[in-house]
Amino acid sequence: MDWGLKNRISNIIKPNTGRTVMLAVDHGYFQGPTTGLREPRKTIQPLLPYADALMLTRGILRTSIDADADIPVVLRVSGGTSILKELSNEGVTTSMEEAIRLNASAVALSIFVGGEYERRTLLNLSKLVDAGERYGIPVLAVTAVGKDMARDARYLGLACRIAAELGAHIVKTYFCEGFEKVAEGCPVPLVMAGGKKIPEKEALQLTYNAIHSGAVGVDMGRNIFQSEAPVSMIKAVRSIVHENTTVNEAYELFNSLKNEEVQQKVPASKQAASV
Ligand code: R5P
């Protein structure tokens, strides 16, 4: 692997633990102003110190992240569809030249294995890897799962393996029963997507299960920014990923930090009234 490519991957997957906590805030590229992300700057800024990398589009990067922020960027470069139409019909929306201009540490693209436009998205991935290899920019492939697909180890194992075979340097997929089989069959680092918001303890359990079944980390969005205490939640996720804490220890950490964080969000006038 070329030095530049290796160096960029090590910006994302931290060499001291071999793991990563990526914060995914790219949801708006097909679903618009997502709950918890309506004002991206407000949501993202307090979380930045605790994320190892940020996954987002160029629009949110330019408008909501200061250029002097100390955070590796995984730039979402696939899209062109919305929740109103067939989602698998994605193209590449951002050039490699633009990714370099934005100092991206990696680019990210979704593949839709089994989807209506499966072939198109797989060829998009291959071409993106060719361009990435040319400039030393790693490609993260996201295994998007259509409504009709079962999120089981057989399907996710197929999608992850195809992504790796086509040259993806990192693969992002969902957790499932038998995840270790998915990880075994994927010869590149695997990160877990969080999925829909679930109670914090369950999301921490998912994180623990993924890490202990072969994932190198998480690329989590809604289970962090839709939490009532997002900073406490990302700290708890980090403790599992980087410090090997148990689910109970991480949940205790979340609870011990949560009240203070929630309290800080209450306007001063209300705080005074409740005393
Ligand atoms: C979906 O394709 C987007 O890439 C999101 O980044 C991804 O779903 C991860 O976010 P969440 O943890 O909210 O599922």
- Tell how far the Cα of 78 is from the centroid of ligand 1, in angstroms: 13
Catalytic residue among 6, 42, 127, 172, which?
172
Q: Which alpha helices (H) appear in the chain, and where do they start and end?
A: 3-12, 28-31, 40-44, 58-64, 96-101, 118-135, 153-165, 179-184, 200-211, 222-225, 230-243, 247-265, 268-274
The total number of structural domains that make up the chain: 1
pLDDT tens string 175-229: 999 999 999 999 999 999 999 999 999 999 999 999 999 999 999 999 999 999 9
> Would you say the CB of residue 172 lies under 6 angstroms from ligand 1?
no
Domain range enclosing 200: 3-274
Return mean pLDDT, the chain. Answer: 95
Q: Which of 74, 222, 237 to mutate to test the pocket of ligand 1 (most atoms within 8 A of CB)?
A: 222
220 lines ligand 1 (CB under 6 A): yes
Which tens digits make up the pLDDT trace of 101-152? 999 999 999 999 999 999 999 999 999 999 999 999 999 999 998 777 788 9
- Residue identifier of the C-alpha nearest atom 2 of ligand 1: 144
d(CA 131, CA 44): 29
Atom of ligand 1 at shortest range from CA of 24: 6
Q: Determine if ligand 1 sits within 6 Å of the CB of residue 194.
A: yes
Catalytic residue check, 14: no
CATH code of 85's domain: 3.20.20.70
How do residues 172-182 score in pLDDT, each as one tens digit?
A: 999 999 999 99
